[in-house]
């Protein structure tokens, strides 16, 4: 039997449903780790290759170990979660005795190009800037057009430094956080 709600209540139900269907970006906590491991199942070989630069069939175990021992200062990660499922991961690892950190981002294929990478990187940049990290180092394979476009879009002034294997960037954390809504 159909339930008829008054218009105001229908609007409230619609808002709640929309909120529930929007992925949330959260600081990675131990309870997310099984979800990060499971995320690999929904990744294409191409996405894994673009992220890990090798024909790796799954998220490497050493990454999972690293995520299990984050200190939330020198090493930090955020995840995007949709209805309990981890659909994205962004991680920084500070380079010793510098104000720089290595940045890596991964979004499951079905959610790519829907603003998840932008939201995760923005949140991570905010956390990094608060901890005195002024820039992210990022390396992208030259054939990874989506990532190259994402960097150019998120950091319009970023100067690519190509070498024979990769395109390298130094990306200011503060510039990223300015005017962005994590």
Q: Which residues contact ligand COA by CB under 6 A?
A: 47, 50-51, 104-107, 112-118, 140, 144, 146-147, 149-150, 153
Q: Which is nearer to ligand COA, 14 or 162 (CB)?
A: 162
User: Which pair of tokens denotes residue 145?
Assistant: 């057009």
User: CB 132 → ligand COA: shortest distance, Å?
Assistant: 23
User: CB 103 → ligand COA: shortest distance, Å?
Assistant: 7
Distances (CA, A) of 146 to 2, 31, 54, 76, 170: 45, 30, 18, 24, 18
User: CB 172 → ligand COA: shortest distance, Å?
Assistant: 17
Query: Quick one: which H or E segment has residue 82?
Result: strand 75-82
Which residue minimizes CB distance to ligand COA?
Answer: 117
User: CB 147 → ligand COA: shortest distance, Å?
Assistant: 4
How far is residue 182's CA from residue 180's CA, in Å, rounded to a whole number? 6
Q: Which is nearer to ligand COA, 132 or 142 (CB)?
A: 142
Quick one: how far is CA 66 from the chain centroid?
16
Token pair 């990290």 is found at 133
SS3 label, residue 100: strand
Q: Which is nearer to ligand COA, 97 or 163 (CB)?
A: 163
Q: Which is nearer to ligand COA, 127 or 171 (CB)?
A: 171
How would you write 45-80 as a 3-class SS string? HHHHHHHHCCCCCCCCHHHHHHHHCCCCCCEEEEEE
Q: Which is nearer to ligand COA, 56 or 134 (CB)?
A: 56
User: CB 4 → ligand COA: shortest distance, Å?
Assistant: 38
């Amino acid at each position: 039997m159909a339930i008829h709600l008054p218009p105001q209540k229908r609007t409230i139900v619609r808002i709640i449903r929309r909120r529930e269907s929007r992925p949330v970006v959260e600081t990675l906590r131990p309870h997310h780790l099984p979800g990060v491991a499971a995320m690999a199942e929904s990744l294409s070989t191409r996405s894994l290759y673009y992220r890990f630069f090798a024909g790796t069939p799954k998220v490497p175990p050493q990454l999972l170990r690293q995520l299990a021992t984050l200190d939330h200062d020198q090493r930090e990660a955020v995840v995007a979660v949709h209805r309990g499922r981890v659909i994205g991961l962004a991680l920084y690892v500070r380079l010793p005795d510098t104000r720089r950190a290595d940045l890596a981002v991964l979004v499951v294929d079905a959610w790519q190009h829907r603003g998840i990478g932008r939201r995760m990187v923005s949140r991570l940049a905010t956390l990094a800037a608060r901890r005195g990290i002024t820039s992210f180092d990022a390396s992208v394979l030259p054939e990874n057009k989506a990532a190259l476009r994402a960097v150019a879009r998120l950091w319009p002034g970023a100067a690519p430094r190509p070498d024979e294997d990769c395109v390298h960037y130094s990306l200011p954390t503060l510039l990223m956080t300015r005017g962005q809504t994590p």
